[in-house]
Amino acid sequence: MNKTVLITGATSGIGRACAVKFAEGGYRIILTGRGKDKLAEVEKEILAAAPNAEVYSLLFDVRDKSQVVSAVASLPAEWKNIDVLINNAGLALGLEPEYVGNVDEWDTMIDTNIKGLLYMTRAVVPSMIENGRGHIINIGSVAGDAAYANGNVYCATKSAVKALSDGLRIELTHTPLRVTNLKPGLVETNFSNTRFHGDLARAKNVYKGIEPLKGADIADVAYFAASAPAHVQIAEVLILATHQASATVVWRKDE
């Protein structure tokens, strides 16, 4: 039987690209997201790329612990044995100094980027241990390596993703399970549009003068990590655009 991957935040960006990539690689795909229509769109995209793919969608919000528990428990018996969990759901909101930040936006980032990841890990990993196989791939960020001005809470949440990935890896050393933390730099997805509340001009300016990464680039790395031999654990990967050196050091071509 083909392996099964569950992807959170699968309706756009990196998550959507991972769904297509893993389907093309023969995986059975469990999509999760908050929008029924968007999940249906991704399902169509997957089947266009991999007509024989098996796809199952779960509609829930990773920020809601009870929804996470219910959604995972609702999986039919033939879908319950998850081989790869991709904790991708995450976002940034706002770009203001910490002392004038929007508290509601802080809550959303913390609830999604940290607590959502924890809820999913808690719901899925015990069965992986019981089955004697599994791989957890967390989507962190270059922002988790060092804080930058006005990135405060977002940077903190991605630092937490690194710490949680490292801690889980240590806790699972007695098992065959593997833990990977992927840390993308500039990736042109809906990320900046979300951060700037739909201000398309401001979002586009983030990628001005540089060829940024695409969701598919990160999906390629995730698939590579999942495809490594059983004795190989790709613990952490920092993925940057060629003209990006860190979260804040970027060379931009004059236009």
Catalytic residues: 154
For residues 86 and 198, give the distance between their C-alpha atoms in angstroms, rounded to a whole number.
26
CA 224, distance to chain mean position in Å, is 15
Which residues are CB-neighbours of 20 under 8 A, at least 6 positions away? 45, 46, 49, 50, 216, 219
For 137, the 3-state DSSP assignment is strand
Question: Which residues are within 8 A (CB) of 195 and not within 5 positions of it... i.e. 6 or more apart?
Answer: 91, 92, 93, 94, 95, 203
Degrees, nearest 5: CA angle 9-145-254:
85
Distance of CA 56 to the CA centre of its chain: 18
Structure token pair of residue 159: 């630092």
- How far the first Cα of the chain sits from its last, in Å, is 52
